[in-house]
Amino acid sequence: MRAFALALLSLHACARPIPLHPNPVAVDGALHAVACGPVTAVFSGDAQALQPLGPDAPRSYAVESLAFRFPDGVQRGFAPRGQLFFSDWTFEVFSPDCSKVALQVDHYGPIHVIDRERLLAYLSGQAKPTVVEAPHEKDALVHGPVRWASNDALEFVASAGGQAEVWRATGTRIESVFPRTSAPHGLRHGAKGWEIVP
């Protein structure tokens, strides 16, 4: 009887879905790769490009392109709608629970948020994303850096003319979380939260 009960408990434990989270993996020829369940983000670039930027430059600054590998072997490239500079790329494309993907499509925004299950359709031009961008009146605002604050909330910096502000997007709702401030060198997320780069 005890063995039967243990077998039932074991089956019940196996039936629970295993929680997903972004996991760096090795991919031949890639600058960096992150797996999230059945989908892997593969970043290409030249690590030698970091040398002029110094030893503290983020590895993401060497990214030149991004593609996604799917479980059936299909690989689809991500094509920005505009121009992305070295500082626009981030390895943090997947939400912490792997349910969503955030992709900055231009230096000036917006950011596209897609359910991971619809990512292949999005990359093939068959699914529309949630479009996230900072509210602005006239000036085009530089968007980035971008980071996931939770499974559903995305944070990003929007800046122009030495001023910068952090915004949080939850679905289509957007709110300021670090008010517009003088930040000639930008804002960054540190151990204590958002801060002005000295």
The tens digit of pLDDT for each residue in 66-112 reads 999 999 989 999 999 999 999 999 999 999 999 999 999 999 999 99
DSSP string covering the chain? -HHHHHHHHHHHHHHSPPPP--EE---TT-SEEEEETTEEEEEEE-GGGGGGG-TTS-GGGGEEEEEEE-TTS-EEEE--SS---GGG--S--B-TTSSEEEEE-STT--EEEEEGGGHHHHHTT-SPPEEE----SSS--EEEEEEESSSSEEEEEEEETTEEEEEEEETTEEEEEEEEEE-TT-EEEETTEEEE--
- Does pLDDT of 11 surpass 50? no
Report the predicted TM-score, pTM, of the whole model to 2 decimal places. Answer: 0.87
Q: What is the pLDDT of residues 186-198, one digit of tens each?
A: 898 888 899 998 9
Residue 190's pLDDT is what? 87
Name the pLDDT band for 49 (thresholds 50, 70, 90): confident
Q: What percentage of the chain exceeds 70 in pLDDT?
A: 90
- Higher per-residue pLDDT: 6 or 155: 155
- Return the pLDDT at 6: 47
Residue range 169-186, pLDDT digits in tens? 998 899 999 988 899 988
pLDDT digits (tens, 9 = 90+) for 110-167: 999 999 999 999 999 999 999 999 987 767 899 998 999 999 999 999 999 899 999 9
Residue 34 — pLDDT band, cuts 50, 70, 90? very high
